[in-house]
Structure 1
Amino acid sequence: MMLALEVVQLPVADIDRALAFYTAQAGFSLDVDYRPTADFRVVQLTPPGSACSIQLVVADSPVRVHNLYLVTTDLAHGRAELIARGVAVGAVRHKDPVPTWAGAWGTGLDPQRRDYASIADLADPDGNTWILQERGHRPQ
């Protein structure tokens, strides 16, 4: 059996504001913006290179989704690109020590650029949070 995660719904207060953030700032591709009536709308976006999409869902509740992972082969470059687009991205940190990691963090990229060792955080305007994580880095 194969099971593939296709879509994660993100609760937002304002779909248009979230749509602008994810397309213009975060660089996601718009897959669907379907509004057959004034009261029903489906907006689906996909991060570059991903097989999993997000759907923006209006929610009056303050509950948000936290710690969704966006994986990149070059965390420093990906972070810089997001910042250049106006996204507030936290400082890069790495697991320390990596081989016996128990929750402590060191500053900056993992010196050996090991898979899953380096991360940075960001949030959308509604407080849904993301973790950028490096995997598959190959020096140029």
Structure 2
Amino acid sequence: MDWKLELVIVPVSDVDRAKKFYTEQLGFAEDVDHRAGDSFRVVQLTPPGSACSITIGTGLTTSAPGSYQGLHLVVNDIEAARAELVERGVEVSEPFHFGAQGKQDGVSPNRGDYETFMSLEDPDGNNWQIQEVGRTPKK
């Protein structure tokens, strides 16, 4: 039996501001924007190429806006991804690296899968880690 993660609710304080950030700056596709009165709104957004979406909205969660830390997105070229984000006006860290022993070295010339990251925050402070995977050919 397959168990697939398809949706993560991300707590935000201003749905329209967050929607603009995720669609215009991160390039997520808007799948749904549904309101049922003033106290309930669901906005489903999907990163390019992802089978899992996020939902932001009103009346969805009791988690505090900005409380999610370490959500992961995976890319196969972190430098190209960073250039795209910077061009869209996203404040994103420089790539940083963890060697095979799990120690951060910051300058690893050999970017192995699962070792190179960069980070960013949405307008509420929810933290995203972008991880490079798929750069190293599988043996």
- What TM-score does the superposition give when structure 1 sets the normalisation length? 0.88
Which position in structure 2 is the counterpart of 1:129?
127
List per-residue Cα deviations over 1:23-60 (Å, max 9, x = no partner).
Answer: 00010000000113232211000001110000003468
1:47 and 1:53 in contact (8 A); partners too: yes
Which position in structure 2 is the counterpart of 1:100?
101
TM-aligned CA distance change 1:76 to 1:91, over 3 Å: same
Identity of aligned residues (%): 48
Which position in structure 2 is the counterpart of 1:45?
45
In 1: Cα distance, 2:109 partner to 2:34 partner: 45
- Gapped regions of structure 2 (runs ≥ 5): none
Q: How many residues are paired up?
A: 134
- What TM-score does the superposition give when structure 2 sets the normalisation length? 0.88
The within-5 A match list for 1:33-112 is: 33-58=33-58, 61-62=64-65, 64-95=67-98, 98-101=99-102, 104-108=103-107, 110-112=108-110
- Gapped regions of structure 1 (runs ≥ 5): none
- Please provide the CA RMSD for this pair: 1.9
Q: CA deviation at 1:105?
A: 1.3
Which position in structure 2 is the counterpart of 1:115?
113
The runs of at least 4 consecutive aligned structure 1 residues that moved more than 6 Å come to none
Q: Which structure dedicates a bigger proportion of its chain to strand?
A: 1
